[in-house]
Amino acid sequence: MSENTSEQGPHSTPATPASTPAASHVPAGAAQAPHPAAGGPAAGDPAAGAPAAGNPAAGGAPWEREVLEKLVFAALNEQKAARRWGIFFKSVTVVLVVVALSAYLDLGWTGSDGETLGRHTALIEIEGAIESEGSGAAAVVIPALNKAFSDSGSVAVVMHINSPGGSPVQAGMIVDEMQRLRKGYPGKPLYVVVDEICASGCYYIAAGADRIYVNKASIVGSIGVLMDGFGFSGIMEKAGVERRLLTAGENKGFMDPFSPLSDKHKQFAQSMLAEIHGQFIQVVRDGRGKRLKETPEMFSGLFWTGAKAIDMGLADAFGTVDSVARDVIKAEDIIDYTQHEGLPERVLKKFGASLGAGAMKATMERALPALH
């Protein structure tokens, strides 16, 4: 009996079922869109609900958020930096205003009158020439001396001086006040401590103290008076320049640098210098007393080292401000009573407002006696 079924060989092509739809032709590598009837991704698919990469509308890309964050933080940091600089400049302004007011009002350690500062050594500094301006002026030294002596907390007063000398008038006024205060405050000693040099008018002041302390190499002495200047009459005569000086008074042209110095005027100047020299010598003798070992050269204008000055009785011992406060006065706390130049004066001098006054002063004082 013959069978209708036939056996397929390895190379036979299987029959296509009639119900299978024909496959559509899609290019290789192209993504196939989901079938409309499928309704999108199946439930539970991880890709469901995830935004498409690179689509801003799907929640924003990470790099955009980073850029925005950086811009915001940069703006905040800039505001913080501006605020810090503002605080800094305001603080500097406040400090400068306080310093300027302090300098203008000449505020110091001593505070207001009558205020005490505890047990201490009062210090007054004199630096430079003894003249009508500067730390060696009587108008500066005398108020400082009064404050130092009147403060109940000051145990003693130390004048720290370093000067080649200067005006006998300024030195005389300072010495007179020193003597008055020593009598008014007998329990409060007044000491002088010499730095580099204490000569002429400076020693005039030092002689008014209770004791004088020096360094072994300090320059001390020069007890004398001088009056110096220049004469141009010979040069003017050679140059054919005639000096026309009209005066009302026989001696009104005395010490004129453009006129010859007569014997009469020279003798008058010498007598005036001798009188001032005598005043100087008397101050030294009164101040040093029996400690002074006078020699023919002591009042000749010579000066000596600090060690030699002690041997001659011109000074008492070696010492510094600190050693005197510590070992002699027994009050190591030192308060400076020196009156310093205020801010207005410093500003005016800085910009040269005093040049004219300085030139006039130099002209007027060219022939005044000086203790140098």
Q: What's this model's pTM, rounded to 2 decimal places? A: 0.63
Which amino acid is residue 84, in one-letter code? R
Q: What is the mean pLDDT of the chain?
A: 77
Instruction: Provide DSSP, 281-315.
Output: HHHHHHHHGGG----TTTTTT-EEEHHHHHHHTS-
Residue 180: both structure tokens together: 């008055």
Asked if the model's pLDDT at residue 111 lies above 70, the reply is no
- Encode pLDDT of 201-219 as tens digits: 999 999 999 999 999 999 9
Q: Tell me, what's the pLDDT at 220? A: 97
pLDDT (tens digit, 9 = 90+) per residue, 75-93? 888 888 888 888 888 888 8
Does residue 26 have a pLDDT over 70? no
CATH no., domain 120-230+262-364: 3.90.226.10
Report which listed range, 16-25, 231-240, 305-314, is most confident: 305-314
pLDDT digit string, tens, across residues 141-163: 999 999 999 999 999 999 999 99
pLDDT above 50 (res 34): no
* pLDDT number for residue 57: 44
* Pick from 192-196, 204-208, 261-265: least confident: 261-265
Task: Please check the confidence at residue 9 and state whether its pLDDT lies above 80.
Answer: no
Which DSSP state fits 332?
Answer: -
pLDDT for position 95: 83
Task: State the pLDDT confidence band at 178, using cuts at 50, 70 and 90.
Answer: very high
pLDDT at 283: 95
Going by DSSP bridges, is the β-strand pair 303-305/219-221 parallel, antiparallel, or unpaired? antiparallel
| Residue 179, pLDDT above cutoff 70 | yes
52 torsion bin: left (phi>0), alpha (psi -120 to 50), beta (else):
beta
Average pLDDT on 225-233 reads: 78
Fill in the DSSP letter of residue 37.
Answer: G
Q: Are 257 and 228 in contact (CB under 8 A)?
A: no
For the chain, which residues make up each domain, given as ranges? 61-105, 120-230+262-364
The answer to whether the beta carbons of residues 173 and 128 sit under 8 Å apart is no
Separation of alpha carbons 238 and 228, rounded Å: 23
- Kindly tell me if the per-residue pLDDT of 109 is higher than 50: no
Q: Under a CB-based contact definition with an 8 Å cutoff, are residues 335 and 154 in contact?
A: yes
Q: Provide the 10 A C-beta neighbour count for residue 319.
A: 22
Give pLDDT, residue 230.
74
| Residue-wise pLDDT tens digits, 333-369 | 999 999 876 555 554 444 444 445 454 444 444 445 5
Asked if residue 8 has pLDDT above 60, the reply is no
Pairing of strands 120-127, 334-336: parallel
